């Protein structure tokens, strides 16, 4: 998957831009479709290739990202389409994993000066009192293996040094050999070769808030986050997530932590249209999106006090 190929496809497209008013995060009100105003995009660098699917309720574009308001029978959420995979990376609460508490997406994004972020991987949570500071599996961040061993097999999901999306079982040693730059352990793998995987377990029927990452064949990255445990959105199953990813052209995708671990950040606030950003529960990492110019990591370490965003 090459970024150049994705951009070439973007430049060829003349798409339809739907502009929404972002009011209180509730972009899924019954009358929201009436707010959509369509206009043609001009040609040039800012042209986006917009995917239209049965899940789409509205679309808007900002900071080089497509934001698709999506909904299914029991859920509502947001799909981010990011043409340039080099902008997506894994952020961590601090430089090393030493047992200290984790952080939510807002805190991690702020540390890196990132534009956007969604919560990352699962963490050790014995007796449901984990502080989110010890991840499960491996963690690669900006070309460095920050957590994990070289022998165990994990579902490694992320990007290699050439910005190709990777989502498959491998050992830490194999991940190092592959030149993985940013990745975490996902569970389960949702999509392989454009098909729903053989999903098993309670997550196939349990509806909850969820987060997933995937990629299309042209290299565009897909970040999907679903509201859950709310009247307007009970939540999605892993099968729902896989099917939505495929509808957006995903050839590969994996599931991240969900439920109370769902948190997000966008340009100073929460992702537009997502209200189930619980915020208080800390996690071990986050998938972040850079501004067009790479931000600098803050010198200070994150604190244990966090905001609700």
Q: What is the pLDDT of residues 160-207, one digit of tens each?
A: 999 999 999 999 999 999 999 999 999 999 999 999 999 988 788 999
In whole angstroms, give the CA distance from residue 48 to residue 226.
23
CB under 8 A, 24+ apart: contacts of 149-153: 150/176
Distance of alpha carbon 68 from alpha carbon 169, whole angstroms: 30
5 has a pLDDT exceeding 60: no
Residues paired with residue 78 on neighbouring β-strands, in sequence order: 69, 225
pLDDT at 37: 26
The pLDDT value given to residue 280? 66
Tell me if the pTM is above 0.75.
yes
Is residue 3 helix, strand or coil? helix
Cis peptide before 252 (omega within 30 of 0): no
**pLDDT tens-digit profile of 208-217?**
999 999 999 9
Q: According to the model, what pLDDT value does residue 284 have? A: 97
Q: What is the distance of C-alpha 274 from the center of its chain? A: 13
- Is a pLDDT exceeding 60 seen at residue 225? yes
Q: At 305, list the tokens.
A: 């006090």
pLDDT tens-place string over residues 252-306? 999 999 999 999 999 999 998 887 655 568 999 999 999 975 444 444 444 434 4
Whether 157 contacts 167, CB under 8 Å:
yes
Sorted by sequence, the CB contacts under 8 Å of residue 247 that are 6+ apart come out as: 53, 54, 55
Angstrom distance (rounded) from CA 226 to CA 296:
29
Give the Å distances, CA to CA, from 97 to 56, 83, 94, 107, 168. Answer: 39, 31, 7, 16, 24
Longest dimension (CA), the chain: 55
Residue 153 has pLDDT above 70, yes or no: yes
CB 66 within 8 A of CB 81: yes
Could you tell me if 271 and 219 are in contact, meaning their C-beta atoms sit under 8 angstroms apart?
A: no
> Which phi-psi region, left, alpha or beta, contains residue 236 (left: φ > 0; alpha: ψ -120 to 50)?
beta
**CB of 120 within 8 A of CB of 184?**
yes
């Amino acid at each position: 998957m090459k970024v150049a190929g994705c951009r070439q496809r973007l430049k060829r497209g003349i798409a339809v831009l739907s502009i929404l008013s972002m009011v209180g995060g509730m972009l899924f009100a019954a009358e929201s479709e009436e707010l959509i105003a369509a206009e043609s995009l001009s040609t040039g660098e800012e042209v986006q290739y917009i995917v239209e699917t049965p899940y789409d309720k509205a679309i808007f574009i900002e900071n080089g990202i497509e934001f698709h308001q999506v909904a299914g029978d029991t859920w509502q959420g947001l799909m981010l389409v990011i043409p340039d995979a080099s902008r997506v990376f894994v952020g961590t609460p601090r430089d090393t994993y030493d047992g200290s508490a984790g952080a939510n997406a807002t805190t991690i994004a702020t540390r890196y000066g990132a534009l956007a972020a969604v919560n990352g991987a699962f963490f050790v949570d014995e007796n449901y009192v984990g502080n989110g500071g010890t991840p499960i599996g491996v963690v690669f961040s900006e070309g460095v293996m920050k957590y994990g061993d070289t022998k165990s097999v994990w579902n490694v999901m992320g990007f290699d040094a050439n910005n190709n999306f990777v989502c498959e079982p491998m050992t830490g040693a194999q991940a190092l050999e592959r030149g993985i730059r940013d990745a975490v352990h996902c569970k389960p793998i949702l999509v392989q070769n454009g098909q729903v995987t053989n999903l098993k377990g309670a997550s196939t029927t349990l509806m909850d808030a969820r987060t997933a990452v995937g990629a299309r064949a042209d290299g565009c990255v897909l970040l999907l986050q679903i509201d859950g445990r709310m009247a307007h959105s009970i939540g999605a199953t892993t099968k729902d997530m896989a099917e939505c990813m495929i509808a957006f052209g995903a050839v590969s995708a994996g599931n991240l932590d969900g439920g109370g671990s769902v948190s997000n950040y966008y340009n100073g606030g929460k992702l537009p249209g997502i209200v189930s950003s619980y915020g208080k529960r800390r996690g071990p990492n986050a998938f972040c999106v850079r501004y067009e110019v790479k931000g600098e990591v803050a010198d200070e370490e994150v604190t244990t006090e966090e905001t609700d965003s």
